[in-house]
Amino acid sequence: MHEEPDCNQLRQQLRGMMGREPGTCCFKRFASRGLLASSVWVPRQWLALLLDQCASAAVVFHLMACPDTVIVNLTAVASVLFYREVFPDLHMNLTWTVVGFALVFPLQTAIREAFKRREQALMAISDFRATLMNVYLANQIWDWPGADAWCGRAEDNVPKEQGGHGKKKGSFKDTPLHPRHGPRVFNLLIRLVEAMQELLLVPRRGRSRQEFFTCVSPEKEMVEDAELKGRSAVLKLLGRLHRATEELKAAGMPANEASRINQYNMFLCRDFERLWSFKTYRTPTTLRSVCRVSIQVFPFFFGPYYLHLIKTYSPDSDVTDSILRHRFIFACLFSCLTSTTLVALLNVAVALENPFRPGSTDTIRVQEEFQLCREALQEAMQDQEESWHERFDFEWEVLRSPGDDGSTSDGDACRTLELWRGCSRDPQRLDGRCWTRRLKEAGTKRAEGQYAAMHY
C-alpha cells in the first residue's frame, strides 16, 4: 500500500534545497531568493566575465561601425602623413586639455542630458500606463446606489420580477447604462494605446539636415505631418473618454465619483502632452553639430603630436628605419583610436537623442512598454468576475499557503516538491519555463487556470 510522505519532512528538505545555490559548472540559479528568482539561470562568474567582455566589444564595434568612422580614420592617417612629408620638423608634445574641454566635456554633457530625458520619458510612460489601468477599472467596476439596492450600475429598467435588474427612478429613469459600457471603454483604450505607440515610433525631428536642406529632402515635412496625424488621433480618443464618463453620470453615478474619473482622464492628457514634448524637442542641435565637425578636423590640429611620437628619441640611441616605421604605424593607429573613440561617444549621444528610438540598446523599448499596457487591460478584464477575496495562487508557488480556514493540501505539497526536484535537474529549465510546463503536465487545476490566464 502506497504511503503518503510526511510533508513536514518534505518542507524541511525543500528549505535545505533552497539553502544552497544549485546548478552546473557554467550556470547557477539563486534558490535561496525564492521560487520566482530561482526560475532564472545565470552564468557562473567566470562565464559571466567572458560573456560581458564579448558583449561589450560587440557594443563598441556597433557604435564604431558607421560612415563617420571611415572618414575620421582617413583623416587621422592623412594628418600623420601630411605632417611627416610637408612639415617634418613641426613635431611637439601638445597638451590634451583642449580635447577634454572642446570635445569630451560637451559629449559627456550631451549624453548625460539625453539620458536624463530618457528617464523622464520613461516615467511619463509609466504614469500613462498606471492611469490608463485606473480609467478602465473605474469605467468597468465602479458602482453606485440604485433605486432599491446598491447595484445602480446594473439597473436596466426591467423589473426584477421579469428577470431584469431593476427599474431606475427619478431623473435617471430613461438612461440605463449600456451593458457593454466596460468593453466599449476597453476597446477605446486599446485603440489609444495603439495610437500612442504609432506616434512615438515616428522618426524624430530636430536634425540639422532637416533645417538646412529642406529643398533636397522632404523629411522634415513628412515627419511633422506624421506626428500631427498621430496627435490628432490621440486627442480624439482622449475626448471620447470624457463622453464615456458622461454616460456614467447620466446613468446615476454620483458627481464626485464622475469627477474623479474625469481627473484620471486629465492625467492621461497631461502624460500625453509630456510624451509629446519629449518626442518633438531635443537637446541643442548646435552642440552636436560643433562636436561632429570638431571630431573630423581634430586629427589635423594634433598632427604635430603624432609626429612627435615618431621623431622623439635620444640622440645616442640607435634608431633604424624599422623602428621609425614601427613608430609611424603606432602613431597612425593611436590617431585612429582617439578619433574613433570620439565618434563612438558622439554616436551614444545621437542614439539617446530620441528616447523612443527602436532597436537601440539604451532607449525606451516602446513596443514592450505598450504591450504591457495591453496585457494589463486584458488581465483586468479577465479578472473582473472574480471575487476580490478569492484566494489567488501564484504559478511559481511550491507549497500552498494556508487558506482562510488555515488548511493546506499535503498531496499538492508533496506532488509540487517532486516537480520542484525534477525542474532543479532539468537542463531545459534554462528557458525559464520548466516549472510552468511540469505544473501544467501534472494537471493541477490551479496551475492550469494560471497558465491559461497568462497565455490567453
d(CA 302, CA 93): 9
The dihedral formed by the CA atoms of 165, 171, 174 and 179, expressed in degrees to the nearest 10: -50
Task: Say which range, 24-28, 49-53, 152-156, 289-293, has the weakest mean pLDDT.
Answer: 152-156
Task: Say which range, 88-92, 156-160, 186-190, has the weakest mean pLDDT.
Answer: 156-160
pLDDT of residue 31: 77
Q: One-letter amino acid identity for 115?
A: F
List residues bridging with 166 in a β-sheet: 158
pLDDT of residue 166: 67
Rounded to the nearest 10 degrees, the angle between the axes of helix 321-353 and helix 105-141 is 30
C-alpha cell at 399: 507549497
pLDDT of residue 198: 95
- Report the percent of the chain where pLDDT is more than 90: 30
Query: Could you tell me how many helices (H) and strands (E) the chain has, helices first?
Result: 17, 2
d(CA 391, CA 449): 13
Which of 373, 300, 284 has the alpha carbon at shortest distance from 339?
Answer: 300
**Above 60 in pLDDT, residue 314?**
no
3-class secondary structure, 397 = coil
d(CA 309, CA 299): 14
C-alpha cell at 175: 438612461
HSE toward the beta carbon, residue 252, CA cutoff 13 A: 27
Q: Is 54 in contact with 43 (CB distance < 8 Å)?
A: no
Other CB atoms within 10 Å distance of the CB of residue 438: 20
Kindly report the pTM of this predicted structure.
0.75
Task: Say which range, 86-95, 156-165, 394-403, has the weakest mean pLDDT.
Answer: 394-403
Return the beta strands (E) in 310-401 as ranges.
none
**Above 50 in pLDDT, residue 217?**
yes
Q: One-letter amino acid identity for 12?
A: Q
> What is the tens place of the pLDDT at every residue in 329-367?
898 999 999 999 999 999 898 888 889 988 888 889 999
List residues bridging with 28 in a β-sheet: 23, 42
List residues bridging with 158 in a β-sheet: 166
**Above 80 in pLDDT, residue 85?**
yes
d(CA 163, CA 285): 68
d(CA 420, CA 146): 51
Return the beta strands (E) in 411-454 as ranges.
none
pLDDT of residue 431: 42
**Above 80 in pLDDT, residue 371?**
yes
Q: Kind and range of the H or E element at 147? A: none
Q: What is the DSSP letter of 172?
A: G
C-alpha cell at 193: 494605446
CA distances from residue 155 to 161, 180, 373 in whole angstroms, order as listed: 13, 13, 31
pLDDT of residue 6: 54
CA distances from residue 162 to 119, 151, 152, 307 in whole angstroms, order as listed: 57, 17, 17, 99
Q: Is 241 in contact with 267 (CB distance < 8 Å)?
A: no
pLDDT of residue 298: 86
> What is the tens place of the pLDDT at every residue in 130-163?
999 999 999 999 988 776 777 777 777 677 676 6
Q: Kind and range of the H or E element at 68? A: helix 67-85
Ordered domains of the chain (ranges, CATH): 17-65 (no CATH), 69-109+290-353 (no CATH), 111-144+165-285 (1.20.120)
**Above 60 in pLDDT, residue 196?**
yes
Mean pLDDT of 420-426: 48
d(CA 347, CA 315): 44
Mean pLDDT of 199-204: 91
Size of the chain, expressed as the number of residues it contains: 456
d(CA 285, CA 299): 23
What letters, b where the CB count within 10 A reaches 16 and e where it falls short, cover 104-115?
eebbeebbebbb
Task: Say which range, 11-15, 77-81, 180-184, 287-291, has the weakest mean pLDDT.
Answer: 11-15
d(CA 50, CA 56): 10
d(CA 188, CA 82): 66
Q: Is 196 in contact with 275 (CB distance < 8 Å)?
A: yes
Q: Is 196 in contact with 132 (CB distance < 8 Å)?
A: no
